Amino acid sequence: MTDFTSWIEEMELHDPHMSGGKFTWFKGVNHPSAARIDIFLFSMEWEESFKSIRQKLMPRAIMLKHKLKDWSKTNFGEITNKKNSLLEELAGIDLTMESRDLSEATIVVELENMAKNEEANGDRNLESCG
């Protein structure tokens, strides 16, 4: 690490102040371990050319992960229910097929009609969301 620090000094590189926090890495509940593992280095010449450059700590990935999970539940949460509903419909078709003599062509037509109805319902749901 001393070689790296020496190289930074020799190259006259600058690591600007980071706003929004001191650390970029956290571990454990309530952050008992923390460190700054990301370094943003640039030359003094570069700093003179781009005076408004600021280093800012971004939100933690774990917060983003929770937000993505919430978004997914809101937008796609009904997928399991839809799947179960379709499986029940298929089971109903199986029972119907057992109780009467349905040809494969009739089953295909019934499945295509069900798919079209599901697709139309999905399109309506998308329109109401957008």
Question: 6: pLDDT confidence band, cut at 50, 70 and 90?
Answer: very high
- 121 in the same domain as 89: yes
State the distance between the two ends of the chain, measured CA to CA, in whole angstroms: 53
| 84 shares a domain with 46 | no
Q: Which phi and psi (to 5°) does residue 11 adopt? A: -80, -5
- In the chain, the number of structural domains is 2
| Cα–Cα distance for residue pair 70/77, rounded to 1 Å | 9
**In the prediction, which pLDDT does 62 show?**
65
Mean pLDDT score of the chain, rounded to an integer? Answer: 78
CA distance 130 to 122: 12
Specify the pTM: 0.36
Assess if residue 63 is contained within a domain: no
Task: Find the domain containing 85 and state its range.
Answer: 78-129
Which tens digit of pLDDT belongs to each residue from 73-88?
Answer: 777 767 777 788 888 8
**Contact 107/95 with Cβ under 8 angstroms?**
no
pLDDT digits 0-9 by tens, 11-46: 999 888 888 888 877 777 666 788 888 788 889 888
DSSP-derived secondary structure letter, 83: H
Give domain status of residue 27, yes or no: yes
